[in-house]
Amino acid sequence: MKPLILASASPRRFEILKQLGLEFTVDPSSIEETGLEAPAKEWPLLFAEMKAKDVSLRNPDSIVLGCDTLVFNEGTPLGKPKTREEAFSMLQTLNGRSHQVRSGVAFAYGGEVLKSKTEETEVFFRNNDPQDLLEYVNSLEPMDKAGAYGIQGRGASLVKSIQGCYYNVVGLPVSTTLDLLKEVEKFLCP
């Protein structure tokens, strides 16, 4: 099997891959996540492909996994909040409603993207008290998370239910990732 590289510095993606027992190294992509000339719902897949290709060009003999996750509220992407005020505003927008979490997963080898796919999960927030939202923001947990919450941490208290892949909401859809990896390995090592 070819070496596997995660093109992300995300501690959540790192932990998920470790939990799965995969052997890999980390080499974060230097791709800037700025607006693209494409519909916003396509951004996670496009960024995942760009990240995988970027790191693959530096490591042409390795399989490179790129991933990107965004939270969408009524079609509008919500990135990572820059301030506590922005985090609180995002959480208020999501409160008592449903939203979508979209992740793009891409595998590259030799500087070319071989397989990629998008995963979407619907998340339903509880009708949380504003004071509870403020306490969550003050914990600082939301500050490095798309949509200003982490379902795998204290943010779980904000969520009523989900429809789809839990790990997608964390940042790496497990089933999709494993299925694509298997296809790539079959292609490279028939």
Query: Considering the entire predicted model, what is its pTM?
Result: 0.92
Instruction: Give the pLDDT of residue 148.
Output: 96
With a CB cutoff of 8 Å and minimum separation 6, the contacts of 48 are: 66, 67, 68, 103, 104, 105, 106, 116
**pLDDT single digits (tens) 84-132:** 999 999 999 999 999 999 999 999 999 999 999 999 999 999 999 999 9
Owner of token pair 């429809």? 163
Active site residue 129: no
- H or E stretch at 122: strand 112-125
What domains does the chain contain, in order, with CATH numbers?
4-188 (3.90.950.10)
* Candidate list 68, 129, 132, 144, residue with the active-site label: 68
